[in-house]
Structure 1
Amino acid sequence: MFIKEFLQLRRDRVTFAMMIVIPLMQLLLFGYAINTQPTHLPTAILTQENTDVSRAIVAALKNTSYFEIVRTTQSGTEMDHWLRAGSVQFAVEIPAGFERALRRGETPALLVAADATDPVASGTALGALNGVLSSALSGLRGLPDTTSTAAFEIRQHRRYNPAAVTRINIVPGILGTILTMTMLIFTALSVTREIERNTMENLLSMPIRPLEVMLGKIAPYVAVGFAQAALIFVAGFFVFGVPVEGNLILLAALSVLFIIANLSIGYTFSTLARNQLQAIQMSFMFFLPSILLSGFMFPFAGMPVWAQWVGEALPLTHYLRIVRGIMLKGAGMCDLAHPTLMLAGLMLFAMMLAVTRFRRTLD
């Protein structure tokens, strides 16, 4: 029996590969990609003056490992758009007359707006901000001692989650995570189930094209996924008190897009797998990086560049930005154009791959 199991395992190359790849993937992701103290967070500068003090503040933010200046503007409306869209994590506003007030000893204020939908990503950086700016201004002539006295004030505005409540960040993410897991498994078993039940010949003999087969198989699960999403949304709103600031119709439409994308990926796995066990294994291989690299469990901005590139290829990454943007920030379609286009592109790519692969199985 011992020898028989080894021979069977050797014949099932997909299962054997999963036994090796999954531990290596976990080791790689947890060892290199996961970072609970994110650095190089995207930051925008809203400056109303061009002085030595403003330049010193910008230079200090660039030199620290916490902030990365990616955008500069003089418009508060543009800054608000970047925060809603998730293009930046922080926005530092240097008001007009800041240097003059500082030299007169009037204790001027800097406004720092932070996207607090992810408290972990913003908390550490905000805590280090005061020391960074005080050290930067201490070397300028004619200024009061910024290291020993409160020469200026930093007013922190934690937007969208001012109390840093964890469930406000987690519950919208659970919506996407549960949909990813269930939709993948549902459709990953669709074609392999036909093969194991010896009904594949009847399916192939039907006068319909591979595209019609795929659409017919995933269409019922769209309704199932939408019902799941509605249930989680209602529970999040009434049980956990998660606010809903945006348009529910937009959220529903983009949720359907996300559901179809995951169903298409699961259907692709069903055309590749030889049995239901392999289909579930492939689904798990896709679900593991989705939950770790999408920004659901760990800050996306704190991951290395290669991990962010992998995360950008996952539908869950873009859906998390959509659902958090609509529910917590009140974002509109203009703010969510990029994640919506990425999600649609991933869905079309998965559909094309699934149809092409299914045609090969007809030979």
Structure 2
Amino acid sequence: MTYYLRSPNRLSISRIQAILIKELIQMKRDRLTFAMLLMIPIMQLVLFGFVINNHPKHLPTAIYLQENTEITRSIINNMAQSDYFDIVNDVNTLNAYRGDTPLQDTRSLLQSGRVNFVLTIPSGFSKAWVRGEKPSLLLEADATDPAAAAMAVAQIKPIVDRTLADIQIGSFDYLKPKPSSITTLVHNKYNPEGISQFNIVPGLLGVILTMTMVMITSIAMTREAERGTMENLLAMPSKPLEVMIGKITPYVLMGLVQTIIILLASNMLFHLPFVGSGSTFGLGVGLFILANLAIGFTFSTIAKSQMQAMQLTFFFFLPSMLLSGFMFPFQGMPKWAQYLGEILPLTHFLRIVRGIMLKGTSLSLLSNEFLALLAILIIVGIIAMLRYRQTLD
């Protein structure tokens, strides 16, 4: 009986306690994993709580005002006060400065993504309304993101109707028309049928490239350290930049192959249009792949194991999904979330790929997005080189 009580097969509180203490010490030493365990729930709570918004408001809107009367000014003021529209551009003002035609202005504003809507109020609108006629307004909407456009489009007619219903016409109050006295024409551009795949599938290209490029590069470098081959790599006369170029070049080719497969599949399965320039698209994809590979290379200089590299990848991937405009309308997010989203490569790539594929947007109109990707690539690349040099000591 005594031998049974002391048998190693029996559970031992002291042995459990020893292993528990060992794991706590290991957790204390692995500060990156411990920080991830604390930060990821907080990040999810903040992002999902504040950023997710299926009812976007404050969407940028341009006005092409062909007449300036009290009635038209009231319509514009009520649109701004409705919280659905932010009046950010006056097409007539842009035309005066740049010499473009109003049609060129409205097209460039929508193609570049600077505005979601353009409202055109034609000349003679006020007189026609006072005479009891049924004048028309034209609202052009960027329908590449149907979720962002649908709610605001549904609000434009009630806003205009309430505005006209509140206007008193002096002693001729009997002339005040009913809410149905105007016609609001809505032109959903670039995706008139509101097909959700046209918005999601181009975004999936960016999401897939983000996940694979960052993760593969970060794991590839940390694997070298875990297997002991990093010492051989460091013993070579190669410079850090040469190592970085040599390591990421195969993954650039892999990213291009992924892009071709996704484009072919999206065309065959969803009949996704491609109306823009292939060379501009290729330039955008190349910059985006390089930026993500540089981020993965930087993560590899921070992580001490492949597990930590995957944790850092997930920590970067989650905000990229939520803050880039892939899952939820970018303009519907809080301003602080939009500022954070602007530093993510996926945000700018989504504007590039959707603009080229669905709108046929030119390189000049997307120049800010290309410059942003280039800036991210340069900054992250410099950080990676500086941190890699520290590993050489």
The TM-score normalised by the length of structure 1 is 0.97
In the alignment, is residue 72 of structure 1 matched against residue 102 of structure 2?
Answer: no
Residue 134 of structure 1 is matched in structure 2 by 161
Residue 212 of structure 1 is matched in structure 2 by 242
Matches within 5 A, 1:187-266: 187-266=217-296
Offset of residue 149 of structure 1: 4.3
* Rounded Cα–Cα distance in structure 2 between residues aligned with 1:235 and 1:298: 24
Give the one of 88, 107, 123 matched to 1:96: 123
* Rounded Cα–Cα distance in structure 1 between residues aligned with 2:107 and 2:74: 24
* Rounded Cα–Cα distance in structure 1 between residues aligned with 2:48 and 2:202: 23
Supply the AA of the counterpart residue of 2:181: A
* Rounded Cα–Cα distance in structure 2 between residues aligned with 1:133 and 1:224: 52
Which contiguous aligned blocks of 4+ residues in structure 1 show a shift greater than 4 angstroms?
Answer: none
Residue 99 of structure 2 is matched in structure 1 by none
Offset of residue 62 of structure 1: 1.3
Residue 360 of structure 1 is matched in structure 2 by 390
* Rounded Cα–Cα distance in structure 1 between residues aligned with 2:168 and 2:39: 59
Matches within 5 A, 1:109-124: 109-124=136-151
Offset of residue 100 of structure 1: 1.2
* Rounded Cα–Cα distance in structure 2 between residues aligned with 1:230 and 1:2: 50
Please say if residues 217 and 297 of structure 2, whose CA atoms lie closer than 8 Å, have aligned partners that are also in contact: yes
* Rounded Cα–Cα distance in structure 1 between residues aligned with 2:120 and 2:284: 33
Matches within 5 A, 1:35-50: 35-50=53-68
In the alignment, is residue 332 of structure 1 matched against residue 332 of structure 2?
Answer: no
Give the one of 327, 347, 361 matched to 1:317: 347
Mean Cα deviation higher: 73-82 or 261-270: 73-82
Q: Which has the larger radius of gyration?
A: 2
Offset of residue 96 of structure 1: 1.1
- Report the number of matched residues: 362
* Rounded Cα–Cα distance in structure 2 between residues aligned with 1:77 and 1:301: 23
* Rounded Cα–Cα distance in structure 1 between residues aligned with 2:155 and 2:109: 23
Supply the AA of the counterpart residue of 1:317: T
* Rounded Cα–Cα distance in structure 2 between residues aligned with 1:240 and 1:139: 47
* Rounded Cα–Cα distance in structure 1 between residues aligned with 2:54 and 2:305: 38
* Rounded Cα–Cα distance in structure 2 between residues aligned with 1:53 and 1:73: 19
* Rounded Cα–Cα distance in structure 1 between residues aligned with 2:45 and 2:383: 29
Residue 165 of structure 1 is matched in structure 2 by 195
Residue 376 of structure 2 is matched in structure 1 by 346
* Rounded Cα–Cα distance in structure 1 between residues aligned with 2:350 and 2:296: 19
Unaligned runs of 5+ in 2: 1-18, 93-101
Mean Cα deviation higher: 131-140 or 15-24: 131-140
Offset of residue 73 of structure 1: 1.2
Residue 24 of structure 1 is matched in structure 2 by 42
Deviations along 1:28-67, one digit per CA (max 9) or x if unpaired, are: 0011122111111000001111111211111111111100
Q: Tell me how large the CA RMSD over aligned residues is.
A: 1.2
Offset of residue 225 of structure 1: 0.2
SS of structure 2 residue aligned to 1:111: strand
* Rounded Cα–Cα distance in structure 2 between residues aligned with 1:145 and 1:7: 79
Offset of residue 174 of structure 1: 0.3
Residue 182 of structure 2 is matched in structure 1 by 152
Supply the AA of the counterpart residue of 1:129: I
Unaligned runs of 5+ in 1: none
Supply the AA of the counterpart residue of 2:116: Q
Cα 1:288–1:149 change in 2 (3 A) is closer
Please say if residues 162 and 179 of structure 2, whose CA atoms lie closer than 8 Å, have aligned partners that are also in contact: no
Q: Percent identity of the aligned residues? A: 49
Please say if residues 80 and 87 of structure 2, whose CA atoms lie closer than 8 Å, have aligned partners that are also in contact: yes
* Rounded Cα–Cα distance in structure 2 between residues aligned with 1:333 and 1:273: 37
Deviations along 1:152-196, one digit per CA (max 9) or x if unpaired, are: 110001111111111111000000000000000111112211111
Offset of residue 217 of structure 1: 0.7
* Rounded Cα–Cα distance in structure 2 between residues aligned with 1:138 and 1:250: 49
Offset of residue 115 of structure 1: 0.6
Supply the AA of the counterpart residue of 1:259: I
In the alignment, is residue 180 of structure 1 matched against residue 210 of structure 2?
Answer: yes
Offset of residue 15 of structure 1: 0.8
Matches within 5 A, 1:264-275: 264-275=294-305
Give the one of 28, 33, 41 matched to 1:10: 28
Offset of residue 3 of structure 1: 3.2
SS of structure 2 residue aligned to 1:39: coil
Please say if residues 109 and 115 of structure 2, whose CA atoms lie closer than 8 Å, have aligned partners that are also in contact: yes
